[in-house]
Amino acid sequence: MTLFFKWQVSKYCLLRVWKQPFQLNDFLTKLTVAYILIAINIKALVTLQFYSGWPYDGACATDGTVIDTNGVPGVNIGDPVYSVCDQEPNNVWAVNTQSWMPSDQMDLVRLYSVTSIVLTVLIGVVYFGKQAVRKNSIF
């Protein structure tokens, strides 16, 4: 009985009390921060493409108005005339504003263009700059 009790106590001490803790460090935290920053940058780029192409219909209003309806249902005299235009974004980071965009959309596209360029440069400098200094670290 004494040997069994001593064996149980020794087993408990060996496996619970005296065991070495895991060698954890901050690598996983740094890796997660890097992925979150890259995801935020991708989100800004996708949102920029979304806002620059809105409303995705390829129709731009012209200066003219409808003079004669020719019996077409749903068209009224005085309605604006639309023409086909290219609403595709022309660049990933810096999307130029187009003449067909309303002023608030132009402001938003400019803001997102600047934000996406700054985020990309900042993440590149921080991520790759620290990699050059410390080769074994994420940040």
What confidence tier does 138 reach under pLDDT thresholds 50, 70, 90? low
Please tell me the pTM assigned to this model: 0.62
Range of the domain at 38: 28-54+88-133
Question: Number of structural domains, the chain?
Answer: 1
In a domain, 38, yes or no: yes
In a domain, 64, yes or no: no
Rounded distance between C-alpha atoms, residue 120 and residue 44, angstroms: 10
What confidence tier does 78 reach under pLDDT thresholds 50, 70, 90? confident
In a domain, 103, yes or no: yes
In a domain, 35, yes or no: yes
Which DSSP category does 14 fall into? I
In a domain, 21, yes or no: no
In a domain, 93, yes or no: yes
What confidence tier does 87 reach under pLDDT thresholds 50, 70, 90? confident
Q: Rounded to the nearest 10 degrees, how much is the dihedral formed by the CA atoms of 130, 132, 136, 139? A: 10
In a domain, 47, yes or no: yes
In a domain, 99, yes or no: yes
